[in-house]
Structure 1
Amino acid sequence: MKQFDLLVFDWDGTLMDSAGAIVMSIQSACRDLDLPIPSDAASRHIIGLGLNEALAELLPGLSPSSYGQLVERYRHYFLSQDNEIPLFDGVFEAMQELSEMGFLMAVATGKSRRGLDRAFDHTETRPFFHASRCADESFSKPHPGMLLEILVELGVSADRALMIGDTTHDLQMAINAKVPSLGAAYGAHPKQNLVDLEPLACLDNFTELHLWLKTNA
């Protein structure tokens, strides 16, 4: 008997191995504009946030009027490799299996709608997901808005949903929405930071996460 009806996945760093590409794109964009180049750790920390929230945290001295230029350079670098960024090993097969097991599945992501649509199309995973929310059409994580909207759309109560993500932003969003969570410790944020937010489990690779879902969800 299933413990959960709905599995809500973060995208970058949870299903797609994109954290490294995001960090490189952030740092290259800053370098192009002679801005302070953030460290790998600082760049990884803002993965999953909405665009304005991410830039405000990463470069607090930067005027919002300069965001557009920085975003343009970031997109230049990220889109140059976008179609080559892979899903983690086993993700496609896992989505197929979990779908066949009868789970509803959704995505809650800091990506833009255009970015998620591109990712859906080039990974051919769109048919597996019954709903999705992006940072440019809802509140940024860790606000619970994206998760709450998905619950309403799919008619699932908070206790029957599970949020799965690789950042503290994902797990804090789940806490704010009163939804159980599962940590993906192979993505953007350090494992201990995830463990501190008390997810049901914190898995070290996607294979372990898939097995946990099959056995416990």
Structure 2
Amino acid sequence: MTPRRFDLIAFDWDGTLFDSTAIIARCIQAAVRDVGGKEPTLEAASYVIGMGLMQALAHAAPDVPQALYPRLGDRYRHHYFAIQHEINLFEGVLPLLADLKGRGHLLTVATGKSRRGLDEALATSALAGVFDASRTADQTAGKPDPLMLRELMAEFDVPAERSLMVGDTTHDLQMALSAGCASVAVSYGAHDHQAFEALSPLYIAHSVRQLHDWLLEQG
């Protein structure tokens, strides 16, 4: 086994660990329709995944007036919570996390989800207790601001050079870059992998199996 390169690994949630990209995009579209806005394309709705909820909705629906943002957020949550039970972990995620845990890594989550949303997902996905800490967009600054990563590093006194961010969007990679951390991208989530190269990830994994192998060999 190679020496451990990173002490702390921060994972994005949706599109990285959870196969939720398509459902989130459809819920964004439905919420915008509900308040009379112009429905965003699937590509546009997928692009904002990973941002804080209201930041994402405002970006996806620029024609919706700010006065309707509270209703827009409520309608998104209505649609999402009605079908969140249909969302599953990507195949291979549990063995990946178990192997990393066994190797002594600190495992954390840095997500654009709300605290409530993440806690409910953890409670229903057999992941309770797996992660050492987490940050959500309503607790701290949303992506791509680096604050949530900096808070996680500070919590465990781990320097940036010993920390790694794993995510499926340019928001994740930009956050890592701004925090001074290395990153690994996955191409099976919300963003086209061709946009990743400019943000200098160490590796782009095209499957959970590839991510697993790389992290165990290099992480």
Q: TM-score range by the shorter chain?
A: over 0.9
How many residues of Structure 1 are paired with residues of Structure 2 in the alignment? 217
Residue of structure 1 aligned with 2:159, choices 138, 157, 160: 157
Residue of structure 1 aligned with 2:73, choices 66, 71, 74: 71
Contact between 2:49 and 2:56, CA under 8 Å: does it hold in 1?
A: yes
Q: Secondary structure at the match of 2:90?
A: coil
Paired position in structure 1 for 2:59? 57
- Structure 1 segment 130-141 matched on structure 2, within 5 A: 130-141=132-143
Residue of structure 1 aligned with 2:207, choices 197, 205, 208: 205
**Alignment TM-score, normalising by the size of structure 2:** 0.96
C-alpha displacement at 1:63, in angstroms?
A: 2.2
C-alpha displacement at 1:130, in angstroms?
A: 0.7
Paired position in structure 2 for 1:114? 116
Paired position in structure 1 for 2:14? 12
Structure 1 unaligned residues grouped into runs of 5+: none
C-alpha displacement at 1:159, in angstroms?
A: 0.3
C-alpha displacement at 1:96, in angstroms?
A: 1.3
Paired position in structure 2 for 1:167? 169
Paired position in structure 1 for 2:148? 146
**Which letter does structure 2 place at the counterpart of 1:86?**
N
**Runs in 1 of length 4+ with deviation above 4 angstroms?**
none
Structure 2 unaligned residues grouped into runs of 5+: none
For the aligned residue pairs, the C-alpha RMSD in angstroms reads 0.9
C-alpha displacement at 1:74, in angstroms?
A: 1.1
Identity of aligned residues (%): 45
CA distance in 1, matches of 2:83, 2:99: 28
CA distance in 1, matches of 2:191, 2:111: 15
CA distance in 1, matches of 2:34, 2:66: 18
Query: What whole-Å deviation, never above 9, does each CA across 1:139-162 have from its counterpart, x for those lacking one?
Result: 010110000000000110000000
CA distance in 1, matches of 2:176, 2:34: 36
CA distance in 2, matches of 1:140, 1:21: 21
Contact between 2:28 and 2:57, CA under 8 Å: does it hold in 1?
A: no
CA distance in 1, matches of 2:54, 2:77: 14
**Alignment TM-score, normalising by the size of structure 1:** 0.97
Moved more, 63-72 or 196-205: 63-72
Moved more, 133-142 or 55-64: 55-64
- Structure 1 segment 40-51 matched on structure 2, within 5 A: 40-51=42-53
